[in-house]
Amino acid sequence: MKKINIFYYLIMCFSINSSEKIYYDSDMFLDIGNSLEIEFIKDGELYFRNNNYIIKKIDIELAYSDTEKKNGLKYRSDLKENRGMLFLLKNKEEYEHINMKDVRIPLDIVYINQFNTVVFVNKYVTPMKNIEIINLSSPIKYVLEINAGMSDQWGIKEGITKITFK
């Protein structure tokens, strides 16, 4: 078994908060990002409606603060089928900053306007990549991230499906 020099061990311990990747031996490295796992925290429930009929209810985690929006669903290995993250946007440009960097699961990204109507669904967005910025004619008030394929399975339709949440 290889002995780790105490000096390298101390450097690793002190550096753990300052760097995502820490090199402490020429043969090994520790990647904190790959071992980090963030749990889902239920903040409320969201209802999808088509023509005033509820088509689906899901649990949601809210992203309201800048930090919550920046992190989104990063460092999560899975998202249960009946869950999603709802981003509450302060201005119409904020949705352009949502990306899939460090997101491990494929998603459908649902864009919702000020009238709580779904205006666009970006389906099967690949993990770990930047999202192409979409020019939408309607101002976006909310962005909802759900598992890839759920928007089709649940019958979410652009211009028809509305949301309510509590």
Question: What Cα–Cα distance (Å) separates residue 35 from each residue in 38, 67, 166?
Answer: 10, 20, 33
Tell me: do 29 and 97 sit in the same domain.
no
Q: Please classify residue 47 by burial: count the beta carbons closer than 10 Å to its beta carbon, then call 0-12 exposed, 13-18 middle and 19+ buried.
A: middle
Q: Are residues 63 and 108 in the same domain?
A: yes
Q: Characterize the bridge pairing of strands 162-165 and 44-50.
A: antiparallel
**54 plus 11 within the same structural domain:** no
Q: What is the pLDDT of residue 1?
A: 42
Name the domain count of the chain: 2
Do 68 and 120 have their domain in common? yes
Mean pLDDT, range 62-74, rounded to an integer: 84
Q: For residues 23 and 53, state if they share a domain.
A: no
What integer pLDDT is reported at residue 100 of this predicted model? 67
Greater confidence (91 vs 100) lies with 91
Q: Which CATH number covers residue 120?
A: 2.60.120.1140
Pair 76, 16 in one domain: no
Cα 121 from Cα 152, distance rounded (Å) = 10
pTM for the whole thing?
A: 0.74
Examine residue 1 and state whether it is found in any structural domain, yes or no.
no
48 in the same domain as 31? no
Higher pLDDT, 12 or 104: 104
Summarised one tens digit per residue, pLDDT across range 5-38 is 554 444 444 444 444 444 444 444 444 455 566 7
pLDDT one-digit tens code per residue, 120-156: 998 988 877 666 667 777 788 999 999 999 999 999 9
CA-based nearest residue to 85, from 66, 58, 65: 58
Indicate if 75 and 139 belong to the same structural domain: yes
How far is it, in rounded angstroms, from Cα 16 to Cα 31? 10
Place of tokens 């071992």: 35
- Based on the fold, state whether residues 30 and 65 are members of the same structural domain: no
Give the domain extent around 84. 44-165
> In this structure, what are the phi and psi dihedrals at residue 3, rounded to the nearest 5 degrees?
-90, 135
Is 142 found in the same domain as 104? yes
115 or 93, which is more confident: 115
